[in-house]
Structure 1
Amino acid sequence: MDPVHLIEMNQGMMVSGIILALSFIGIFTETLHGFSRVKVAMLGALTMLVVGQSY
């Protein structure tokens, strides 16, 4: 068995990475936009769930 397993980047991984990055940006810039961190995190989780159903 090959000890090195490479994970290929596919479209689903790219979309989930973008959603994760946008969620983190929204959480860390709470003071700029005024939305609570919890609301941004829940929106990111909901978006990940909805998008995950199509991939």
Structure 2
Amino acid sequence: MNAGPSFSLLVHHTDTDREFAYDRDRHVGQLARGLDEGEGRGWLIVDMAQDWSRMPRAVR
């Protein structure tokens, strides 16, 4: 584990209009473990359909 500052981001791809959706019940790209453990590990979890318009343009 890194002793210095770090940033972890999980992009939850839920916007099927713009990209393939990855989620718990999909046959490809299941994110159950990441979604279950991410917050406890200090990850920022961004929901693409709900949060993406609020992301800085440099990230999008």
TM over 0.5: no
Greater percentage in helix = 1
Tell which structure's C-alpha radius of gyration is larger.
1
- What TM-score, normalized by structure 2, do the two folds share? 0.28
- What TM-score, normalized by structure 1, do the two folds share? 0.29
Greater percentage in strand = 2
